[in-house]
Amino acid sequence: MYTPVMTADEVDALIARVYPQIWVDGGRSFAIEAIGPGPARLRMAYAERHLRPGGTISGPSMMALADLAMWVVVLGHVGPLELSVTTNLTINFLRKPAQVDLLADARLLKLGKRLAVGDVTLRSAGAEAAVAHATCTYAIPSS
């Protein structure tokens, strides 16, 4: 529905520059696999520090991935407006993730001038069923 204005590599380079804390954390946990058209895809590497009691990936790790995936799809479509900020995020945790990488598919539902709304589906690599589903709103600064 919407056409990106940046490539995955350009968004990756932008985030590495403006937000090194997240991008190189523990050796680059996150990779952008696609930016659109269609859903953007991120991959979060399976790592012990993402775990919670019971051995599964923690809720906060999944929320961070969902929020980052939405940020990536927004940046990819509005350009380098890195001060875009989340105003609302809702997440439902559906199933216990497997002990493998986690994939996030982020989709824009509405790209307005001031607000972007989308949803993000999280799946364990190699599986069909969603482990979590988030909806997210970003406020876009005036360019």
- What gap in Å lies between CA 139 and CA 88, rounded to an integer? 9
Query: What is the contact mask toward a second copy in residues 20 to 59, using x (rule: CB under 8 A)?
Result: -xx--x----------------------xx-xxxx---xx
**Residue 94, interface with a second copy (CB under 8 A)?**
yes
- What gap in Å lies between CA 66 and CA 107, rounded to an integer? 11
List strand residue ranges (DSSP E) for the chain, in order.
30-34, 40-44, 85-93, 102-111, 115-124, 130-139
**Residue 130, interface with a second copy (CB under 8 A)?**
yes
Smallest distance from a second copy to CB 141, Å: 10
**Residue 129, interface with a second copy (CB under 8 A)?**
yes
Q: Strand, coil or helix: what is 12?
A: helix
116, 85 Cβ separation under 8 angstroms: no
Residues binding a second copy (CB under 8 A): 1, 18-19, 21-22, 25, 48-49, 51-54, 58-60, 63-64, 67-68, 82-83, 85-95, 109-110, 114-115, 117, 119, 128-130, 133, 135, 137, 139
